[in-house]
Structure formats: structure tokens, C-alpha cells
Amino acid sequence: MDAFTRFTNQTQGRDRLFRAIQYTCMLLRYLLEPKADREKVVMKLKKLESSVSTGRKWFRLGNVVHAVQATQQSILVSDLVPRFCLTIANLNRVIYFVCDTILWVRSVGLISDINKEKWRKLAARHYYYSLLLNIIRDVYEISLQMEQVAQEKAKREKSMPQNHLGPCVADEETEWLQSFLLLLFRSLRKHPPLLLDTVKNLCDILNPLDQLAIYKSNSGIIGLGGLLSSLIGMITVAYPQMKLRT
């Protein structure tokens, strides 16, 4: 219980937990909707999802400052490609949080003449850009890791010469693909934070892709992706060493 208390004392921990609950409801709704006698349960899941989603806005208020601080920190990154990607990604996050705050003002009823659809689309677009840039940065880091692993493997093979005679049954293309996938697997296994961050960004991008109608999926896939990314978020809060360092 002590660990649970320490976890929920952090805003991000609580927020990720509620996000997991929200996307679980979305997934369960998708699975139960076709069933005939589950209307009541589906209705309750919908209500839970919407109240958790509304309540989570309170966790996001003031995150503009967090994003501005993250932008300031990402300008100081040494490597050029991550510096560029992270700075632009964080700037997009700042704009996303500004749009989100405006949507909150509208939902609370302080200012009624705000075009909800326009601001929602704007928020989704900038969230999408920030995730895209994060994925580009992840791909760059993965390629660096793969290069490193390949160099280490080459060094080891040079020091231990072996005979590679034997019938080459597989096609050359599939052999290249196999060795590429093996290299990818090895580099990600060596660097769990990078793996978690990549999976999280890929899961997260499903939602804006659907909202912006770039790649329409169903609420089941979005729910599953959101749940997975929330679980990864919870792991990075509970175990800070799993967070990808800039």
C-alpha cells in the first residue's frame, strides 16, 4: 500500500492510472457493444469514460509551463538530430496544451463562444506533430544503437574467425531482413527505455491519426493502444530509470 501511495502522490502517476482506466473502458465498450444484453454495462462504461476524461483535464491544467521547461531543456541536448526533434516536439506540445486549456475554458462554461471543433482539431494536429517528431528521434536513436551493436558484433567476429561454409538455403533478401530484425531485437533488448518509449509513441499516435482522419481505425484499437501507452507511462513513473533520457 505504501508503494501505491507513493505512486499516486505524483500527479503524473495518478493521471496515467486514470488514463489507463479511460482507455480500458473504451476497449471494453468496443468489445461489449455488439452483444445484445449488455446495454446497461456499456452505458455505465461510457459514463465512467467520460467522467474520467473530464476529470483528467484538471491534471493537465498548467502543463503549458511543464512543456515550456521541457523545450528549454531540449535546446541543451548535445546531439543535433535529437536536439532538433525534441525542441520542435516540445514546442508542439506547448501549443497542444494551450489549445487544451482553451477547450477546458469552453467545457467549464467560462467563455461560451469558442469553436470547439476547430480547437480540438488544432490540438490533435499539434499532438500528432509532437508524437511524429518523437518517433523520428526514436528511430534515430535505434539506428545509432543498431550501428553500435553491429560494430561490436563485427569486432567479436574479427577476433574469433569462424568458417561460414555451408549451403545458403535462404534467399539473399530474406537473409538481410532476418539479420536486420535480429540486430533490431538485440539493440532494443540492450536499451529497454528506448523500446518502451518507441512502443509508447507508436501506441499514442493511433488516436490523433484517427481524429485527423489520416488513418481511421476503430475504438477498440485506439483503446488498446491508449491502455498500452498508459501502462508504459505508469512503469516510467514507478521506475524512473526506465524513462528515456535526453
Partner 1 sequence: MDAWVRFSAQSQARERLCRAAQYACSLLGHALQKHGASPELQKQIRQLEGHLSLGRKLLRLGNSADALESAKRAVHLSDVVLRFCITVSHLNRALYFACDNVLWAGKAGLAPLVDQEKWAQRSFRYYLFSLIMNLSRDAYEIRLLMEQESSACGRRPKGSAGGTLGGGEAGGTAWVSAPGGSLPHLALQLRLRVLLLTRVLQGHPPLLLDVVKNTCDLFIPLDKLGLWRCGPGVVGFCGLVSSILSILTLLCPWLRLKP
- Interface residues with partner 1 (CB under 8 A) are 1-2, 4-5, 8-14, 17-18, 44, 47-48, 51-52, 54-59, 61-62, 65-66, 68-69, 107-110
Residues 30 and 227: their CA atoms lie apart, in Å, by 13
**String of DSSP letters for 78-124:** SSHHHHHHHHHHHHHHHHHHHHHHHHHHHHHTS-----HHHHHHHHH
CA dihedral (242, 17, 19, 222) positive or negative: positive
Q: Which is nearer to partner 1, 1 or 168 (CB)?
A: 1
CA–CA dist 169, 186 (Å, integer): 24
Nearest to partner 1 of 60, 120 (CB atom): 60
Query: Nearer Cβ to partner 1, position 10 or 179?
Result: 10
Please report, in angstroms and rounded to a whole number, the separation of the first and last CA atoms in the chain: 32
Name the minimum Å distance from CB 191 to partner 1. 26
Least CB distance from residue 196 to partner 1, whole Å?
20
Q: In the bound complex, what is the minimum distance in angstroms from residue 13's beta carbon to partner 1?
A: 8
Question: Smallest distance, Å, CB 179 to partner 1?
Answer: 44
Nearer to partner 1 (CB atom), residue 62 or residue 115: 62
> CB of residue 156 vs partner 1: minimum separation in angstroms?
44
How far apart are alpha carbons 17 and 147 in whole angstroms?
36
Residue closer to partner 1 by CB (options 54, 179) is 54
SS3 assignment, position 191 = coil
Contact 197, 133 (CB under 8 A): no
